[in-house]
Every structure is written in C-alpha cells, then in structure tokens.
Structure 1
Amino acid sequence: MTTSPKTLRLLMPQWQGGNNPTYRLGARLLAWLAPEGDAEFAEVPVAQPDGSKLPVEEGIVAKTAILGQNRTALEIIRKADPDRIVTFGGDCSVSLAPFSYLATKYAGDVAVLWIDSHVDLTSSQFYENAHGYPMRNLLGQGDAEFAAFTETPIPGNRLVYVGVGKDRMSEGSLRDIDAMGARVFDPSELTGNFAEVIDWLKACGASKLLVHFDLDVLDPEHFRAQLFNNPDGLADHFVGMATGKLTFANVIDLLGRSAEVIDIVALSITEHLPWDAENLRQALARLPILSR
C-alpha cells in the first residue's frame, strides 16, 4: 500500500532580505488567500520590524537575522520531514531552506524552475540585500554562510529561468549562466504552449522540480502588489530595473503543463508587496477609536 506524499505549507514572512517590512504582510496575505487544504502548516518566527534601520553586517543587511531565520526554517522542515513544500514568502531568500532540504532529500534528481524577472545570482560583493543571492547559494556558491545551507548543490545545467529579460542582463551574467549550463527563456522567446520549457524539463534528467515564483515576473500593469508599483514612488536605484512581462494565466499554464511531465515538489511564492493593504493597516492603527 502506497502512502500519499506529505506536503508542508510553510509561512516565512521574512522581510529583511529585501529590507522592506511590507514583505511581512505580503507573506501572511499569501498564506491566507491560498485555498484551504489538509497539508501540515508551520510558521517560521520572524523578527518584527520596529522602525529602526537594519544593520549591515559583513556587507549584508541583517545578515544575522536572516541566517537565524533560515536555520529555524530548516529545523522546522527537517522535523516535519515532508515530501513537498509550499512556501509563502517573504523576500526571495525564503527559498533557500526548503530548496536546499529537498535538493538533499532527492539528491541528484532535482531541477529548478526560477520564474522571475531577475536571476538572483549575485552576492554581497555586489549587492547588500540577501534576496539577490538565493539561487547563487543553492548552487553552493556565493557567501559562505548562506551557501552552507546547500549540502547537495544544484548543478547549473539543472536550472532554467523563465521571465528574465535578456536585454536587461549584463554580458557577464549571460556568460556566467552559459558557462554553468543553465537556460534562460526571455518572455519574447516563449510560445503559447511553453513547448521550449517543457522540452527542457523532459531532457533535464531530473524527475523532481523545485519552482520559485517571484511575483515581480508579472506585468506591473496587471498586478499591482509588487516592488515597482510602490505608490510613494521608486527610489533612484530601481529606475531602469527589469520589470515583469508575464500574466497569472501564463504562470498557471506553465506550471500546469510542467506538472504533466515532472513532479513539482516545491513551490515558493515570493515578493508580494500589498501596498494598499499596508497603507490601510497603518491608517487603521492611527484612528482614535482603534489605536491602542
């Protein structure tokens, strides 16, 4: 008699990796909005923002807090011993613990589908926010204490990106990705049935798939709750950065077709920034009859 795979739903409202407290509310809303199920549920304790500026430690914003929260996440996951993990984040670095756990559980048999408008392959040498590092760390590279989570590094030729605009990538990034054997499918290269991605999944040599879905891969004209739609305006260093081109229908279709050819054992949904809800929350807290 076979048993059904055990799924863990993990709420990880980590916000320090993107240095933005609104990620905390975004993660909680994702978990609340998700359809109900009978999967085991766990929440990773995350330090609440108190209005103070986060420290930069060895070139990384809130390094100690982020490492500690990821270690706690990994402890929760190991105790639950799931076969599949759905993670509601939080900034992109929430994929580090669940993906590293499953990469070891299914050693040698996992591929990664990173649906994002950015490759998340940088390190503290170039960028101080940890949400730019997770895929580099899952390759066993980058900042040592983060890369150490990955006991079984994911081979570069088992990594495929969907949604990244090649015209916004540096020549160095394109060379690095080509050298490691990863694939990038620019939105302009995608056909209606995603045949090119499905063919890659069939040929990748793995039977298990880890999916990272960053909501900023969506066209900001169609999905407002993301970084580039901050109603207070964009900081100068965000101007000119790549924005998404896909729709929810695209992502749903892509994952539905992927599930027909490979077993999806992880789904991380990240970078939800519900600006209107956050502004409303703050306003309610200041109303005389509601304030403490």
Structure 2
Amino acid sequence: MGQNKKTLRILLPQWQGGNNPNYAFGAELLAHIAPSGKGSQTVEVSVEKDFEKSLEVENGVVGEQVLFEQMKETAKILEEQQPDRVIIFGGDCSMDQVPFDYLNGKYPGKLGVLWLDAHPDVTTPNDWPNVHAMVLGNLLGKGAPRFASKVKNPISTTHVMYAGLIEKDMSDKEEKTVKELNLQFAGPEELKESSQPIIDWIEKNQIEYLAVHFDLDVLSPKDFRSILPAEPYLEKFEPAIGEMTLTQVVRVLKDVSTKAEIVGLGIAEHLPWDAINLRKALLEISIFKD
C-alpha cells in the first residue's frame, strides 16, 4: 500500500467553527511539528484571521458565511490536486468536512471513517451554534442543514465508528442521535489494551480505506497537555474530557492500518498552551512591535 500514491498536506487553520482563535496558531505549529513527507506537497487554505472582528450568527451557526468560503477554497484545492491521500492540519473539527467528503467520493463504498474524539460531533444548530460540534452529523446528511447540503458524498452510518468516545458525558440529545443512527463506538476502556473492536468493524463492513479524524481532545490531559481542558489555571471544564493516551492512539492507528489503508488523517484542536501564552506575552514587549 502507498506506492505511487499522491499525498497532499493541507494546512487549514480554521478556527471559526469552534469560535476560538487559538486553533489557528495551533494548526500552524502542528504543521511544523509533523514529520516531513517524502515528496508530499503542503497547501495552505486562506483563513480569515481578523480575530478582533466578531463572528455573525447566521442560520443558527457562528460564522456560517466565512466557513463556507474557506470550505469552498478547500474543495477547489482538492479538485485541482486530486490527491490519493490527504493529511489535514487544523484547526477546529469542522476542517474535516470537505476532505472527508472528497475521500468518500474517491473511494465510494470502500471508505470507513474512524472518529477519534471524546465528543460525538452530531449536534444541530438548535442545540449549539458552533459547527465543529456538528461536522460528523453534516457528513452523515444530518447536523446543520445548510452545511449538510454541501456534502456531495454522504457517508453511510455503517461506515463510521467512534474511538475514545466518552459515552457517559454525552448530552441526552447526543446520546439519542448516536443511538438513532446506530453509530458504532468503542470507549477508552475497551481500547485500553486492544484495537479489536475497530478491526471487527473494518472486517464486518469490508472497509478497504480509512479516513481518520483525530481530535486531540480524545487524549487525557494527564497524558497530553496541548488540548482545551489542559489550559493553565482552568478550574472547571464542562464537556467530556478524553481518557486515551497518545501511545494507545498510535497503537490503534498502527493496528487498523494492517487491515485498511489510511488515506485521510485530520488532526484537530491542537492548543499548545505554553507556545500560545509565550507568543501573546512577547507581543506585549516593545521590541517585538516594530
């Protein structure tokens, strides 16, 4: 697997879907941290970075129009480049909508989506205004109606599986949606020592290719510090907190890659707090202002 395959790296510092400007810098730093690929090209999507300008709520979604513009540019890049494999450095979780839609069109009926996340991302604008919590719903033809309508290749519910989902902390609506869609999931405890639940799903559904959504908040803040709930001096965090370790996630990805080819990897919500806070601090010093 992988011979003569074209891999495209997309730097997509999209922050508006989570309404958190820190995601932009996190994406840019992530692209530097990631190992360089042999011959793979990196393309950056133009992202509006006027962080002082407040985002409008349109059709129940924060920043709808600017998100559509960024998604349109992402789609254009993929259409022109026609890669076989895509790596996305982000950014909030909504960054994966267009690349995963593209990959499902490239590998119809053979692509599975592995959603490594503490949260299900299947809410609607009636529940929450930030589209990063709706992105998987959009890809399934649910979620935010105007975003879902832009998905050309909706993903079958049988071809989606969560890994690391914190079931006990889902809202009643999230739990209802996950059950109604009959989405498969394996929690942190199930995956602690074995990747078998995911391998079983791959084999049962005859999945040949995988697009992996890796939201870094699937990780425990005790194990990995560059995530939202690990913000310094944070006293309370309402959403679910991830429980997996980086070693466990790597093991999962290595195991599943023996059963299906990973053709998509989106790494989302990188928040390197020390770098973010140091950068902000230096901006206050006069010598850096000239």
Which TM-score applies when normalising by structure 1?
0.94
Separation of aligned partners in 1, 2:89 and 2:261: 20
The corresponding residue for 2:194 is 193
Count of aligned positions: 288
The corresponding residue for 1:73 is 74
**Residue ranges of structure 1 left out of the alignment (5+ in a row):** none
Q: Percent identity?
A: 39
Whether 2:251 is the aligned partner of 1:253: answer: yes
Separation of aligned partners in 2, 1:32 and 1:171: 39
Separation of aligned partners in 2, 1:49 and 1:274: 21
Whether 2:269 is the aligned partner of 1:268: answer: no
Residue pair 2:195, 2:256 contacting (<8 A) in 1 also? no
Residue deviations 1:81-118, cap 9 Å, x none?
Answer: 00110000000000001000111111121111000000
Could you tell me how far 1:289 is from its partner in structure 2?
Answer: 1.6
Change beyond 3 A, Cα 1:217–1:191 = closer
The corresponding residue for 1:286 is 284
SS at 2:283's partner residue?
helix
Could you tell me how far 1:49 is from its partner in structure 2?
Answer: 3.0
Q: More deviation in 271-280 or 250-259?
A: 271-280
SS at 2:86's partner residue?
strand
**Residue ranges of structure 2 left out of the alignment (5+ in a row):** none
Could you tell me how far 1:230 is from its partner in structure 2?
Answer: 2.1
Aligned-partner residue type, residue 18 of structure 2 = G
The corresponding residue for 1:5 is 5
Separation of aligned partners in 1, 2:171 and 2:68: 29
Could you tell me how far 1:58 is from its partner in structure 2?
Answer: 1.8
The corresponding residue for 1:32 is 32
SS at 2:241's partner residue?
coil
The corresponding residue for 2:184 is 183
Separation of aligned partners in 2, 1:16 and 1:160: 26
SS at 1:18's partner residue?
coil
Whether 2:126 is the aligned partner of 1:128: answer: no
Whether 2:222 is the aligned partner of 1:224: answer: no
Which TM-score applies when normalising by structure 2?
0.95
The corresponding residue for 1:138 is 139
Separation of aligned partners in 2, 1:107 and 1:177: 23
SS at 1:257's partner residue?
helix
Residue pair 1:100, 1:149 contacting (<8 A) in 2 also? no
Could you tell me how far 1:233 is from its partner in structure 2?
Answer: 2.8
Could you tell me how far 1:148 is from its partner in structure 2?
Answer: 2.3
Whether 2:213 is the aligned partner of 1:212: answer: yes
Residue pair 1:285, 1:291 contacting (<8 A) in 2 also? yes
Aligned-partner residue type, residue 260 of structure 1 = T
Residue deviations 1:210-263, cap 9 Å, x none?
Answer: 1000000100112111111222536xxx73321010111001000000000001
